[in-house]
Amino acid sequence: MNCNSDFDQRVLVHSDELEWVSSPMKGVDRRMLDRIGDEVARATTIVRYAADSHFSPHTHGGGEEFIVLDGVFQDEHGDFPAGSYIRNPPTTSHTPGSDDGCTIFVKLWQFDPDDRTPVKIDTNKMGTVPAANREGVSVMPLFEDDRETVQLETWAPGTDIQIDAPEGAEFFLLEGDFSTDKNEALRQFSWLRLPKGDHLTAKAGANGAKVWMKTRHLRFVEAPAA
């Protein structure tokens, strides 16, 4: 299936307006933000694990990147509470699940095939640094390579934001709210994807905004081999 698969288009999705769709595993449901493919897919998804639900053991052929939104995500490598940012590169494997239930924002099949760098960060335990020449913005770097940059940004209330996206960008709102010059109003768990060459002009709301963002990566949009 395809969902928001035209990467030349700007897309805004309010995830709380989407229906939950059952996965092949009982107790695991999904809200699909973008997708190219069927069960093996290049996908950006919100996944909800009910209590005592687990996926079967599997290997990540195209890599997996996620941030835990609520609850505790678990696998044989550890327990990962809300705020955890994880990268499982191609060839890694695990058996994911949650004893008490959790929700994650996850991206599949979007890695460099040669990437072998695992990342496990508890963002609750990391500090931010002021962004150079961007008043009201602080940054927590999460990952960077020749292909992409991933970070958390905190925008103080009322901060004006200007971000160029010559190679595309994605924004997933973790906390707070912001609005754009395109009459887009983002709230918690809204997702915005900018095509290559686009630009974000935004203003943080009265409570500020905490934003997961990825840039430079939309040069590489391919579906996994069937």
- Strand, helix or coil for residue 9: coil
> According to the model, what pLDDT value does residue 185 have?
98
Structure tokens at 69: 């939104």
Kindly indicate the confidence band of residue 226, based on its pLDDT and cuts at 50, 70 and 90: low
CB 1 within 8 A of CB 30: no
Summarised one tens digit per residue, pLDDT across range 107-138 is 999 999 999 999 999 999 999 999 999 999 99
Mean pLDDT, range 153-179, rounded to an integer = 98
Structural domains in the chain plus CATH codes: 2-11+18-122 (2.60.120.10), 124-215 (2.60.120.10)
The model's pTM is: 0.96
Mean pLDDT, range 162-166, rounded to an integer = 97
| Nearest of 105, 114, 96 to residue 34 by alpha carbon | 105
